[in-house]
Structures are given as C-alpha cells and as structure tokens.
Chains A and B, each alone.
Chain A
C-alpha cells in the first residue's frame, strides 16, 4: 500500500468516527450524572453537571479535529 493512501484512509477513519464520539460523549456524561444522582440522592444537580461535562467532552473532540484539519 502506498504511503499516501494509507494516510488518507487513516484520516478518513478518524474524521468518520468523530460524529459518533460527540453523541456518545454527551450520553455518557448524562448517564454518569444520573447514576451519581441516584447514588447520592441529589436529584437533579449532578445530572446537569454530568451533562455539561459530557457536552464539553464531545465538543473538545471537534476542536481537536479542527486543529488536526488545519495541517491540510
């Protein structure tokens, strides 16, 4: 396999998996918040904290991909 093709495939795989990781990050944050809420009986404070952290985590993926995309 040529080196250029390998690099293209690699980047393709990275950027193609971006959307899913954004969505899943938000749901993981929400899920963790809900679970901790149940554990400590602090409904609904930790849910919002978890949701916000999840959203930040998801969008930091986009920022990172944008930085990566600048090299082209």
Chain B
C-alpha cells in the first residue's frame, strides 16, 4: 500500500533524488530518526550539571532507571552492553512514534530495518558469550550429554535463528499492521476521524514494542552470559 504523501521524499525531490527516496522511505526516515536522537543527545549533554534541571532530569531518570533494570537481569557483567541496548530502545521508540505523525513513515515498518536491528542484537549476544566464556561458549549449543551432540547442535542452531526472525517479525508486523490499519481507515472514513482510536492505541503499541525488543535483546545477552546448562 502506497503512502499518500511523504514529507522527506519531497525534500529529496528538491535535489533530484525523488525516485530513489520514494523507493527507500525506510532509509531516509531512519536518517531522520538518527538526527532526532543525535539532537536530543546533544541537548541533554550540552549543559550537564551536578544538580540536574528540567531536560537533564528526564534523561537521567530514563537512562539510569533502564540501566538498573538491565543490570538486574544480566548481572554486573551486562553493564558493558547497556549502551547498545538503550540505543536500540531509543531508536525503535523514536522510529515507532514517527508512524503517528502524518507524512512521516516509521522506519521500523520495513522489514529491512528490523532485520538489521535483530541481527545486531543477537549477533552482539554471541560476541558477549564468546567474550565471557572463550572457546567454552560452544557448550551452550551442545546440550547436556556428549552422545546427543548431533541431535542437539542443529536444534540449538535453529532455536538461535528463530530468535532473529521472531525479533524481526514481531516489530515489523506490529508497525506495518498499525500503518496499514491507519491508512485503510483514513481512506474509508477519514472525514469522520475514524483512524483516531487506532492512532491512540498506536502510542501504546509503539512503547510496548520498543520495550519488548529491548527486553528480549537484554535476555539474550543474559542467556549468553550465564553458565551452560
């Protein structure tokens, strides 16, 4: 389903890139999400003081609250992975919320973006596993009995591939579904504000999906850190 109007596509049209921008809205809007995050980060870090005020207060509560939450799941070793996790959370949140603004396209409604994020999160969990256990990390894939290795190895590999796909499709499906429902309702009854209740629920969906993505990546890292069964 085509988006009726995309703001960034017309902006890129000014530079003669309209065709490319129209076929890659997830790329251009991902840049926008990155830009928003960078500007917010710059605003928050511009005047850091010991006694926080207004904006710094909000960011400190968000960042440190999430940090404690991550550490309570993964243990103290997981603190090193926290910057990646909070970046994923904030990026997905901003990306999801962009779907609520008319003329913006949520980058997370494209399977390319979510697949990339899921590959980064799951790939990093394996890096953390190798980092913590060295070569013994392979024990995570071999099961409890040495005799059963030929059976357990493919099973575990499939289970780990399913992690990537389930992260990908959960976020992609939710965001694309929301986008489609809003567009269809807009087409059918836009004059009577039909998409309004769905958009109100979209705020909730955006928050929950961002949090679930963040939570599951955290749990995969926690699973890589803990000892093999």
Q: Which residue of B lies closest to A56 (CB)?
A: B155
Decide: A24 near B166, CB < 8 A? Known: A1-B65, A6-B73, A56-B155: yes
CB contact between B158 and one of A14, A20, A57 (< 8 Å): that residue: A57
Q: Is B228 an interface residue (CB 8 A)?
A: no
Chain A binding surface SS class: helix
Q: How large is the interface on A (under 10, 10 to 19, 20 to 34, 35 or more residues)?
A: 20 to 34
Q: Is A60 an interface residue (CB 8 A)?
A: yes
Q: Chain B residues with Cβ under 8 A from A71's Cβ? A: none
B73 touches A10 (CB 8 A): yes
Q: Chain A residues with Cβ under 8 A from B151's Cβ? A: 56
Q: Chain B residues with Cβ under 8 A from A32's Cβ? A: 158
A28 touches B65 (CB 8 A): no
Q: Is B3 an interface residue (CB 8 A)?
A: no
Chain B residues within 8 Å of chain A by Cβ, number: 22
Q: Which residue of A lies closest to B152 (CB)?
A: A60
Q: Is A3 an interface residue (CB 8 A)?
A: yes
Q: Return the CB mask of B158-172 against A: 1 if under 8 Å, else 0.
A: 110111011001100
Give B140 Cβ to nearest chain A Cβ, in Å.
13
From 40 to 77 in chain B, residues with beta carbon under 8 angstroms from any chain A beta carbon are: 65, 68-69, 72-73
Q: Chain A residues with Cβ under 8 A from B155's Cβ? A: 53, 56-57, 60
Q: Which residue of A lies closest to B166 (CB)?
A: A20
Q: Chain A residues with Cβ under 8 A from B73's Cβ? A: 6, 10
Q: Chain B residues with Cβ under 8 A from A1's Cβ? A: 65, 68-69, 72
CB contact between A21 and one of B65, B159, B212, B219 (< 8 Å): that residue: B159
Q: Chain B CB within 10 Å — which of A14, A20, A58 has the most?
A: A20
Q: Is B216 an interface residue (CB 8 A)?
A: yes
Can you list 16 pairs linking A and B with CB atoms under 8 Å apart?
A: A6-B69, A6-B72, A6-B73, A9-B215, A10-B73, A10-B215, A10-B219, A20-B166, A21-B162, A21-B166, A24-B169, A53-B154, A53-B158, A54-B158, A57-B158, A61-B159
Interface residues in chain B, defined as those with a beta carbon under 8 Å from any beta carbon in chain A: 65, 68-69, 72-73, 151, 154-156, 158-159, 161-163, 165-166, 169-170, 212, 215-216, 219
